[in-house]
């Protein structure tokens, strides 16, 4: 089993998400808040960012990273995302890489994301979700 997470509603209608190790995130529906669908995209981008960290830092230096943009095709009829598109942008302009080095970096980033991104692995398969409702009285 993974890390336990939970959410709690705020009086203003927003929600707070917590993890057992102290992480915190505010979300909801409204200006300045991530929606649950947004968080799905953040999870995908974040997974690619962490998965690509090693080859990028190995080539471009510590602290280097990618800008990852994720978009999704939403279907209102099924209230679900049909697909996601991820654009991984690595700024290597200060590294003076030749064409072979650029191709190697691109291949390594793709390989690391493909191997290490749990979120993408999960999205690519049918993942059952069981909901158990308890009402205390």
Give the whole-angstrom CA distance, residue 41 versus residue 47: 10
Residue 15, both tokens = 């929600």
Please tell me whether residue 98 adopts helix, strand or coil conformation: coil
Q: In the prediction, which pLDDT does 2 show?
A: 78
Q: What is the mean pLDDT of residues 92-103?
A: 95
CATH of 35-124, one of 2.102.10.10, 3.30.300.20, 3.30.70.100, 3.40.50.620: 3.30.300.20
- List, for residues 49-63, the tens digit of each pLDDT value: 999 999 999 999 999
Q: Which of 36, 31, 29, 32 is nearest to 14 (CA)?
A: 29
pLDDT at residue 1 tops 80: no
Q: What is the mean pLDDT of residues 106-111?
A: 98
**CB under 8 Å to 99, separation ≥6 — which residues?**
none
Q: What is the mean pLDDT of residues 114-136?
A: 95
Position 120 confidence tier, pLDDT thresholds 50, 70, 90? very high
Q: Give the phi and the psi of residue 136 in degrees, each rounded to 5.
A: -85, 145
- Segments of the chain assigned E as strands: 5-9, 15-19, 24-27, 66-75, 80-90
Position 3 confidence tier, pLDDT thresholds 50, 70, 90? confident
Q: Where are the domains of the chain?
A: 1-34, 35-124
Q: Give the phi and the psi of residue 40 in degrees, each rounded to 5.
A: -60, -45
Position 47 confidence tier, pLDDT thresholds 50, 70, 90? very high
Q: In the prediction, which pLDDT does 125 show?
A: 93
Share of the chain above pLDDT 70, in %: 99
Q: Are 28 and 11 in contact (CB under 8 A)?
A: no
């Amino acid at each position: 089993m993974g890390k336990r997470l939970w959410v709690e509603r705020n009086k203003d209608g927003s929600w707070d998400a917590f993890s057992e190790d102290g992480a915190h995130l505010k979300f909801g529906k409204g200006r300045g808040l991530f929606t649950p669908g947004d968080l799905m995209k953040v999870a995908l981008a974040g997974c690619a960012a962490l998965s690509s960290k090693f080859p990028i830092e190995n080539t471009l230096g510590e602290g280097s990273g990618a800008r990852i943009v994720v978009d999704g095709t939403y279907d209102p009829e099924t209230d679900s995302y049909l697909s996601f598109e991820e654009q991984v942008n690595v700024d290597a302009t200060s590294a003076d890489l030749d064409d072979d080095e650029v191709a190697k970096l691109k291949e390594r980033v793709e390989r690391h994301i493909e191997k290490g991104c749990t979120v993408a692995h999960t999205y690519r398969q049918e993942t059952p979700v069981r909901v158990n409702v308890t009402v205390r009285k």
